[in-house]
Amino acid sequence: MKYLSTRGQSPIAEFEDVLLAGLAPDGGLYVPQEWPLLSADEIASCSSGKYADTAASILSQFTGGVFSEERLHEIASDVYGAFDHPETAPLTQVSDEDWILELYHGPTLAFKDFAMQILGRLFDDVLNKHNKRLTIVAATSGDTGAAAIDALKTCEFVDVVVLHPEGRVTDVQRRMMTTIDAPNVHNIAVKGAFDDCQAIVKEMFADQAFVDAVSLSGVNSINWGRLAAQIVYYFTAANTLMKAREPINFVVPTGNFGDVFAGYVAKKMGLGIDKLVVATNMNDILHRAITTGDYAPAEVLPTYSPSMDIQVASNFERLIFDACDRDSDAVRGLMTEFMTNGKMHLPDNMRSRISDDFISFATSEDVTLEEIKRHYVETGSLIDPHTAVARVAARQLRTDGKLAGKTVTLSTAHPAKFPDAVKKATGQTPALPTAHEGLF
């Protein structure tokens, strides 16, 4: 497995290089030279065991022999064995054709744990082999920072620096980042929004001399290793539901486009996925881009779902690359337009290609709270606001006739990470799991 940059001006890279670099030297994002395609039998085989079995099988498609499948299985078993649910990523049925995929049973109660915990172990193995040290810099809207710190706090060869927007994360998110007593962990609060944090990180990566001097790398979803680990739960969820082999829809609350792009990769690998729904809050740049072609950042509005308060979605460039038949010249042209004008417009043929796989929906704050309440009244269960955004999208698109058949909504965070929004909607304060009772 070899990797190339979406902008076409970096050398072809091996998995180790991609893992340690994060961003390509030309400013582009790494993607595999070609998507691995699995047969129906291979998909059934790799998804038939425990979650760790599937993780090892899927990750081995991307590591290019750097890690044996046995080593990947060992790592995955250790990582996912520590999650607090025996199924790791359980499905809960909420109506005849609707399920919720619970992705919050890891150590920081968010879907980021699925990839970040794996990434930390891969980093340590590679760095130990080459006797190298790495400086990880991460911008976070709340969950990535906590997940990165928890995953990397014991890494012998990694220093981690996390930038979060001051006052724009919940107290639970902030404390998960700032109460870890580890000498290799450093936190910085930035006066601004997540996009300001992300811009600082991108500016660092653009300075190649600085990158080399501090051995800089990243664990945001620009890092391909993280996306590869997120592909796994699409396979495990689909395998549970696809007894009749009809395609399944996935509805994903997303801001930086990494989680939903992992679903796209799963589809390219042969998994039976019909539509991928991009569910956004009022920070709806992805919805506007998919529906009209206009990719123009607006002011970042603070919402009840802060992990999606993003107006520049880094991973969207990976989709643009595929949507223009992997024409890196076209990608560079669009990204230059974006850097010059602060916006860009997707050509109609590219938007048409995107609509083959994706539909989108944007949700207001009031409707998000209404959905948290509705779900609680009807099911007796609490959901976090990001999950609520996605459930609104799933329900409305089904009502509008744009979504049909089995549909899985990704529940990306535990409701206790966003207690104020949940209490405002339901009057109930979600309790933190036992492992986090001492957080405050």
Catalytic residues: 112
Number of neighbouring beta carbons within 10 Å of residue 204: 17
Q: Contacts from 330-334 at CB under 8 Å and sequence distance 24+?
A: 331/6, 331/7, 331/8, 331/28, 332/7, 332/8, 332/9
3 state SS for 82-137: CCCCCCCCCEEEEECCEEEEECCCCCCCECHHHHHHHHHHHHHHHHHHHCCCEEEE
SS3 220: coil
Nearest alpha-carbon partner for 250 in 438, 407, 106: 407
At residue 91, φ and ψ (nearest 5 deg) are -105, 135
Q: In the 8-state DSSP scheme, what is residue 433?
A: P
User: Virtual CA dihedral for 256, 258, 263, 269, nearest 10 degrees?
Assistant: 140
**Orientation of helix 51-60 relative to helix 69-81, angle to 10°:** 140
**Sign (positive or negative) of CA dihedral 71, 75, 77, 80:** negative
Residue matched to tokens 């091996």? 14
Closest to 81 in 3D by CA, of 47, 111, 46, 52:
52
**390 is written with which tokens?**
């996605």
Measured in degrees and rounded to the nearest 5, phi and psi for residue 217 equal -150, 175
CB proximity list for 259: less than 8 A, separation 6 or greater: 111, 221, 230, 252, 410, 412
Q: Give the strands of the sheet with 216-217, arranged side by side.
A: 185-190, 158-165, 134-139, 216-217
Show Cβ contacts of residue 362 under 8 Å, excluding neighbours closer than 6 positions. Answer: 280, 281, 282, 284, 287
Tell me the C-alpha distance between 358 and 245, whole Å.
20
Residue ranges of E strands in 205-345: 216-217, 248-253, 273-280, 294-295, 344-345
Q: Are strands 273-280 and 248-253 parallel, antiparallel or unpaired?
A: parallel
For 274, the token pair is: 């019909």
